[in-house]
Amino acid sequence: MRRVMHDEQSDATRSDAHFLRAAIRLSEQGMQKGAGGPFGCVVVRNGAIVGQGHNEVLASNDPTAHAEVVAIRRASAACGDFRLADCTLYTSCEPCPMCLGAIHWARIPRVVYAATRADAAAAGFDDDLLYREFALPLERRSLRLEPLLRAEAAPILRAWSQLPQRVPY
Amino acid sequence: MRRVMHDEQSDATRSDAHFLRAAIRLSEQGMQKGAGGPFGCVVVRNGAIVGQGHNEVLASNDPTAHAEVVAIRRASAACGDFRLADCTLYTSCEPCPMCLGAIHWARIPRVVYAATRADAAAAGFDDDLLYREFALPLERRSLRLEPLLRAEAAPILRAWSQLPQRVPY
């Protein structure tokens, strides 16, 4: 007997797999072009890709050009909005902390990823080191972070919060 | 009597204050132009600014265009290298986790900042929320992060690690 009930769960999973495979294909293409590490990403809104990319750190000499950042930038440009609150991000590998931050600032609520941070670490990428750094208190991190001149900068932030025409974000 | 001994500590502090004030000026200029939030940054190598910028999130519809990311991108482009290991980054406000990630990937070893994350939070920026999110285990975060198809992506990472011509980064 044919199954006639609409199976929403399976549809959603098939759709997720479809877009995630697009991200995985981009990861392979970027690696083959020598653009950067083997990472790919697509941003989807209403069932359509609105931004995509692969890692371009080497090709563009840009340490921030991770696949997720590239795809988010393009999606925001295409949508004319830095907020992508109705989008899902599909990435070939669990995002690093920089990319998680970018996802947060873009207000993307949902991420589907394939390979894990452990897979990335095994391939020589130190996402895992970065996750450990972020878990440490500031004074124990390898990055030196030094405060200075707070009294000269804090008033500018206060001025911002009082601007009548400011766009909150 | 004149003090003739060379005071290296004071020279370093004066130099830090000089570059940090340049970053603070950029934070005010960006706000006045309406480019984005009141944040500015300069990247310095050998006593010279090699990249600078202010927040451009609103002007460019790019959620990743924080002052630090903008300045790092420009410094990397100017130096022709995604590694800025001999640079210091001066920023008008303590970096958010996305920017800390960018600083890490750029291999910048030292950051001098003025306003704090608490000052940013008081002005309506949720850096502090993001820091709290990052401290939570994945399953308790507000961002949904879902694994899928690991077996299809992990082999591509392994292939990368075996490429003879790969550039480690």
pLDDT at A12: 77
Interface contact flag, A63 B80, Cβ < 8 Å: no
| pLDDT under 70: residue ranges of chain A | 1-9, 169
Residues of B in contact with A165 (CB under 8 A): 34
Residues of A in contact with B76 (CB under 8 A): 61-63
| pLDDT under 50: residue ranges of chain B | 1-2
| Mutation for testing the B interface, residue in A105, A132, A166 having most B CBs under 10 Å | A105
- Inter-chain Cβ pairs, chain A and chain B, closer than 8 A: 272
A159 has a chain B CB within 8 A of its CB: yes
The percent of residues in chain A predicted with pLDDT above 70, rounded, is 93
Close Cβ partners of A139 (under 8 Å, ≥ 6 residues apart): none
Active-site position among B68, B94, B146, B152: B68
pLDDT at B3: 52
Q: Please compute, for residue A58, the number of CA atoms within 13 A of its CA located in the half-sphere on the CB side.
A: 16
Q: Which of residues 5-24 of B touch A (CB under 8 A)?
A: 13, 16-17, 20-21, 24
pLDDT at A103: 97
User: Closest by alpha carbon to A116, among A143, A141, A96?
Assistant: A96
Q: Which amino acid is at A104?
A: H
**A99-124 pLDDT tens trace:** 999 999 999 999 999 999 999 999 98
User: Closest by alpha carbon to B94, among A148, A133, A155, A142?
Assistant: A148
* Complex ipTM: 0.91
Interface contact flag, B123 A157, Cβ < 8 Å: yes
pLDDT at A142: 87
- Does residue A68 have an active-site annotation? yes
Q: Are A63 and B83 in contact (CB under 8 A)?
A: yes
DSSP B64: T
B35 has a chain A CB within 8 A of its CB: no
pTM of the model: 0.91
B56 has a chain A CB within 8 A of its CB: no
Apex A62 CA angle, B52 and A118, nearest 5: 125
Interface contact flag, B122 A146, Cβ < 8 Å: no
Q: Are B28 and B115 in contact (CB under 8 A)?
A: no
Q: Which of B37, B111, B160 sits opposite A31 (nearest CB)?
A: B160
